[in-house]
Amino acid sequence: MKAKYWRMVFADTFIFLLRFDTRDELLWRINDLCLYLNHYITKSGQVYKLSLSMGIYEVDGETDDIVSMADRAYIARQTIKNKGDTAWAFYDGAVRDKLLHEKEIESQMERALAEGEFIAYYQPKYSTKEQRLIGAEALVRWRRSDDVIVPPYQFVPLFERNGFINKLDRYMFELVCRQQTLWLGEGLAPVPISVNMSRMCLYDPHIVDEYIGILEESGLPAAYVKLELTESAFFENTSIMNGVIEALHKVGIKVLMDDFGTGYSSMMMLKNVDIDVLKLDKSFVDDIGDERSEKIISNIIYLAHSLQIEVTAEGVETKAQFEFLRDVGCDYIQGYYFGKPQPAEAFADLLQKETWNGSDADADTKS
Ligand code: C2E
Ligand code: CA
Ligand code: CA
């Protein structure tokens, strides 16, 4: 316990004990402290802006010892998402439960990966004009040994923080390559399947070589897999991204920009990166029916097409949304209106029913 305490007050980590009567008063004092420290002036007159990240534990009893109080403040601080901004978080029971749950997941993840508990669900994509099955997206699920299916929002954000996402994404890519090879071997006519790649993967300099190695090893033609990278990844590091896209294009792997329209400078991204398909985020699709939103959507599609980029709309749930998107020239549709993410066996049945014309391998990408 003692060692832990000293770890918590080491280097640039400090403990404050502040008196307060109400939470409001406490927050005022914290705010003052931040203002003061955020404009720290050195002897030479230089102004430093410090980003403070604070965990707050409200002492409300006399039974707590200093170590466990500091421990709880430390745990609260770990819940702050945007490290680098000044922010604070209070410790409460929910925080503790969440962290315990995350610790449990972390203790299981390696074993789960080794034992094949991570599986792919496939969500179909359809062409808007002929309403033909032209592709799918592989979405990870954790099928626990008790057969409970855990959705990605319960573990992907944690894996992005602890770095495990790189391993999981590589595994998913390998899984999809193997699955597609198997389907080809069985005489099915697979459609191209896109696999999500977390923006964290871009910081690994070997990533592209590894993905290309996986593809080559599987023997699958490159036209059967694509990669989806979220828009924020493009924004964070355009030059790395361009290198990655160029290398992927060289071997014939197409790149989709996921969640388009959710970042600050979506349009700039179109200017700077050579993507094949733009995935219009569900938040736009949800606003169909509103005149201004509809104008924005049709102009995004117009702009994308003028740059030879095709557009897939995601999260399409209703006939009205589908018809609007068809009428403004959106190329492809993904959403519950046409089909939910489904296990491999169900998707294989769909493939059997809706045979893809293999001559059109670039169906949902620019030619
Ligand atoms: P995403 O890549 O934007 O995936 C689309 C999400 O929207 C999927 O949720 C899908 O099930 C859901 N969706 C599709 N159509 C509809 C619809 O019509 N209505 C509604 N309400 N939702 C729809 P899912 O499978 O829960 O995945 C959530 C997110 O988790 C994904 O968002 C992606 O960011 C992440 N994710 C999933 N699989 C992977 C993976 O293998 N690697 C990485 N890095 N992230 C993944
Ligand atoms: Ca995606
Ligand atoms: Ca998306």
Banded model confidence at residue 60, pLDDT cuts 50, 70, 90: confident
Residue among 113, 139, 179 to mutate when testing ligand 1 (max atoms within 8 A of CB) = 139
> What's the gap in Å between 152 CA and the centre of ligand 1?
8
Q: Which residue has the higher pLDDT, 7 or 222?
A: 222
Query: In 3-state terms, the chain is what percent helix, strand and coil (to 5)?
Result: 50, 20, 35
Q: Which residue has the higher pLDDT, 233 or 130?
A: 130
- In the numeric block, which tokens belong to residue 124? 């179909």
Q: Give the range with max mean pLDDT: 10-19, 89-98, 101-110, 237-246.
A: 101-110
Q: Which amino acid type is present at position 187?
A: G
CA atoms within 13 A on the CB side of 195: 27
Q: Are 196 and 138 in contact (CB under 8 A)?
A: yes
* pLDDT value, residue 363: 47
Ranges 191-195, 239-243, 260-264, 362-366: which has the least confidence: 362-366
Q: Is the pLDDT of residue 69 over 90?
A: no
Banded model confidence at residue 365, pLDDT cuts 50, 70, 90: very low
What is the Cα–Cα distance from 260 to 185, expressed in whole angstroms?
Answer: 35
Q: What does the DSSP 8-state code read for residue 277? A: E
- In the numeric block, which tokens belong to residue 25? 């008063």
Mean pLDDT of 257-283: 89
What are the pocket residues of ligand 1 if the criterion is a CB atom closer than 6 Å to any ligand atom?
123, 139-140, 151-153, 156, 165, 169, 172, 196, 198, 258-259, 314-317, 335-336, 341
Q: Are 199 and 230 in contact (CB under 8 A)?
A: yes
* pLDDT value, residue 362: 45
The per-residue pLDDT of the chain, averaged, comes to 88
* pLDDT value, residue 84: 67
Write the pLDDT tens digit of every residue in 75-107.
Answer: 888 888 766 677 888 988 878 888 888 899 999
> What's the gap in Å between 343 CA and the centre of ligand 2?
17
Residue among 155, 156, 197 to mutate when testing ligand 1 (max atoms within 8 A of CB) = 156
Ligand 1 nearest-atom number relative to CA 141: 38
Write the pLDDT tens digit of every residue in 315-346.
Answer: 999 999 999 999 999 999 999 999 999 999 99
What is the Cα–Cα distance from 269 to 263, expressed in whole angstroms?
Answer: 10
* pLDDT value, residue 246: 95
Q: Which one of the ligands is nearest to 155 CA?
A: 1
Ranges 10-19, 153-162, 234-243: which has the least confidence: 10-19
Burial of residue 171 (CB within 10 Å: 0-12, 13-18, 19+) is middle
> What's the gap in Å between 204 CA and the centre of ligand 2?
20
Q: Which residues contact 313 (CB under 8 A, 6 or more apart)?
A: 279, 280, 284, 285, 321, 325, 330, 332, 333, 334, 335
Which domains are assigned to the chain? 5-91 (no CATH), 116-365 (3.20.20.450)
Q: Is the pLDDT of residue 356 over 90?
A: no
Ranges 28-42, 97-111, 340-354: which has the least confidence: 28-42
Q: Is the pLDDT of residue 14 over 80?
A: yes
- In the numeric block, which tokens belong to residue 213? 């190695």
Q: Which residue has the higher pLDDT, 327 or 161?
A: 327
For 146: left if phi > 0, alpha if psi spans -120 to 50, otherwise beta; the answer is alpha
* pLDDT value, residue 267: 81
Instruction: Tell me the C-alpha to C-alpha distance, in Å, between residue 129 and each of 216, 237, 310, 328, 364.
Output: 34, 35, 13, 11, 12
* pLDDT value, residue 9: 65
32-45 in b/e form (b: 16+ CB < 10 A) is: eebeeeeeeeeeee
Q: Is the pLDDT of residue 41 over 60?
A: yes
What is the Cα–Cα distance from 89 to 75, expressed in whole angstroms?
Answer: 9
Q: Are 72 and 60 in contact (CB under 8 A)?
A: no
% of the chain at pLDDT higher than 70: 90
* pLDDT value, residue 119: 98
What is the Cα–Cα distance from 340 to 316, expressed in whole angstroms?
Answer: 11
> What's the gap in Å between 10 CA and the centre of ligand 1?
40
Q: If DSSP codes are grouped into helix, strand and coil, which group holds residue 25?
A: helix
Q: Which residue has the higher pLDDT, 297 or 200?
A: 297
What is the Cα–Cα distance from 231 to 238, expressed in whole angstroms?
Answer: 11
